[in-house]
Amino acid sequence: MRAVVLVGGFGTRLRPLTSSIPKPMLPVGHLPIIERLVMNLARGGVTEVTLALGFKPEPFIEAFPDGQCAGVTLRYAVEPEPLDTAGAIRFAADVAGIDDTFVVANGDVLTDLDVSALVQFHRDHDAEATIHLIGVPDPSAFGVVALDADGRVERFVEKPAPGTAPSNLINAGTYVLEPSVLDRIPLGQKVSIERATFPAVVADGRLFGVATDDYWLDTGRPELYLQANLDVVAGRRPHDHCDAVHADASVAADARLDTSVVGAGAQVGAGAVLERSVLLPGAVVAAGAVVADSVVMGRVGEGAELRNSVLGADGVVADGEHVHGERRPDPDAT
Ligand code: GTP
């Protein structure tokens, strides 16, 4: 089974982290998001993945120089300009020569979904497209579906106004598609699969959905990206687990770590405290500093405090400074 994984977005909501690293290349539990995602696709029978690239393609190509990721063969399709989700799928499928049933995944979603079961459901229902669904308390920020008793999608509404959603089942970002879906997408144009393609398949009665209660997390916002890391280190995912401290990190013997992840090459000084936080490769937390509920790529100075914040690669908290609820550098100032 072949798959297209969408990894060409700008990752605006994760800035300033994504100013230096594209979102799917950010680590979760010491492995890039894309690698954890491909691991799950491989468990579900996917043997070849085409990465639909656009914004910052180089880090992907450099990370997998032999064209292999989690035992899966990688291909790269670099769009000349952002084509939005459906346009990117069409472009990548053309590059890969896809002419049979295939899988599509959003490159920022982590899930334990059994992809082979989704494919089986798709075949059993003679669907043209089948989407993985997850139930959430507030579906208004997502694509929401209404299903009939057979699992056929009656309506697909992208980001409904609060209180108007037809159900609490949202598009969870993994699809099984027939190649005929590609014929619905004009070549070389910006087209959204959520706003244009899925509603057209619904009109023909051939969009289906499967709701599961698998682990599922969209890493697109800082608090969720942080959560994804904490879930892996706390052992909340059945297939994935990571050590709290990478073998190449340097952590002082009297530093205190509580449910946190310290990445390769990160440094934690004497007496520093980390709570529910992630230090990305190269981050520095100097002696006596306290970091809580934060993601750090940059430097937290001696005796400083950083809470509920995101520090990009160029972000600095001065010695003794207290920072709460900030993004540094401020992405809106650049
Ligand atoms: P935000 O800017 O924070 O909304 O993040 P994003 O750019 O990743 O957008 P979003 O989360 O809506 O995108 C869902 C998935 O589609 C992500 O995996 C993106 O990388 C991907 N994506 C979005 N737009 C494009 C595009 O134009 N081309 C390609 N190849 N992928 C895209």
CATH number assigned to the domain comprising residue 69 = 3.90.550.10
Number of domains in the chain: 2
As a whole number of angstroms, the distance between CA 256 and CA 273 comes to 5
Å from CA of 23 to ligand 1 middle: 9
What tokens does 220 get? 């697109």
CATH number at residue 305: 2.160.10.10
Q: 144 with 279, same domain?
A: no
Judge contact between 291 and 283, C-beta under 8 A. Answer: no
Domain end residue (candidates: 224, 259, 283): 224
Q: What is the mean pLDDT of residues 161-188?
A: 94
Question: Is residue 240 in contact with ligand 1, taking CB distance under 6 Å?
Answer: no
Residues 107 and 219 in one domain: yes
pTM of the model as a whole: 0.94
114-126: pLDDT as tens digits: 999 999 999 999 9
Residue 243 — pLDDT band, cuts 50, 70, 90? confident
Task: Tell me, yes or no, whether 35 and 135 share the same domain.
Answer: yes
205 shares its domain with 261:
no
For residue 86, pLDDT beyond 90: yes
Quote the distance between the C-alpha of residue 83 and its chain's center: 19
- Any atom of ligand 1 within 6 Å of the Cβ of 92: no
Q: Can you tell me the mean pLDDT for 166-195? A: 95
Asked whether 178 lines ligand 1 (CB < 6 A), one says no
> Is 230 inside a domain boundary?
no
pLDDT at site 334: 56
Residues 138 and 255 in one domain: no
Is there an atom of ligand 1 within 6 Å of 57 CB?
A: no
State pLDDT tens for residues 100-112.
Answer: 999 999 999 999 9
Q: Is 90 exceeded by the pLDDT of residue 3? A: yes
Cα of 40 vs centre of ligand 1, distance in Å, is 20
Cα separations in angstroms, 10 against 69, 82, 187, 220, 244: 22, 9, 21, 11, 29
Is 60 exceeded by the pLDDT of residue 257? yes
Q: Do residues 94 and 192 both lie within one domain? A: yes
At 133 the pLDDT is 98
Residues 17 and 90 placed together within one structural domain of the fold: yes
For ligand 1, atom 18, the nearest C-alpha belongs to: 107
How much is the average pLDDT of 175-204?
Answer: 95
pLDDT for residue 238 is more than 80: no
Per the domain annotation, does 229 fall within a domain? no
Model confidence band, residue 55 (pLDDT cutoffs 50, 70, 90)? confident
The pLDDT assigned to 188 comes to 86
Tell me which of 224, 258, 287 is where a domain ends: 224
- The per-residue pLDDT for 1 is 96
Residue 117, domain member (yes or no): yes
Mean pLDDT of the chain: 95
- % the chain with pLDDT above 90: 87
Q: What mean pLDDT do residues 260-276 have?
A: 97
**93 and 41 belong to one structural domain:** yes
Tokens of 73: 């063969």
Helices (H) and strands (E) in the chain, counts: 8, 29
| Residue 219 and residue 283 in one domain | no
The DSSP annotation for 143-158 comes to EEEEE-TTSBEEEEEE
Neighbours of 60 (CB within 10 A): 23
Test site for ligand 1: of 85, 191, 193, most ligand atoms within 8 A of the Cβ: 85
Q: Is the CB of 194 under 6 A from ligand 1?
A: no
Domain final residue pick, 167, 189, 224: 224
Residue 109 belongs to a domain: yes
Same domain? For 279 and 173 the reply is no
Does 238 fall in a domain? no
Task: Identify whether 240 is part of a domain.
Answer: no
3-state secondary structure of 222: helix
Q: Where in the sequence is the domain holding 32, given as residue range(s)?
A: 2-224
Instruction: Examine residue 296 and state whether it is found in any structural domain, yes or no.
Output: yes
More confident residue, 293 or 141: 293
Ligand 1 pocket, 22 CB below 6 A? no
In the predicted model, what is the mean pLDDT of residues 160-187? 94
Residues 193 and 50 reside in one and the same domain = yes
User: Cβ(173) to ligand 1 under 6 A?
Assistant: no
Q: What's the CA-to-centroid distance between 190 and ligand 1, angstroms?
A: 12
Whether 241 is covered by a domain: the verdict is no
Q: What is residue 30's DSSP assignment?
A: T
Q: Is the CB of 82 under 6 A from ligand 1?
A: yes
Distance 160 CA to ligand 1 centre (A): 19
Beta-bridged to residue 211, according to DSSP, are 133
User: Do 139 and 24 belong together in one domain?
Assistant: yes
Pocket test for ligand 1, best of 18, 106, 310 (most atoms within 8 A of CB): 106
Predicted pLDDT of residue 148: 94
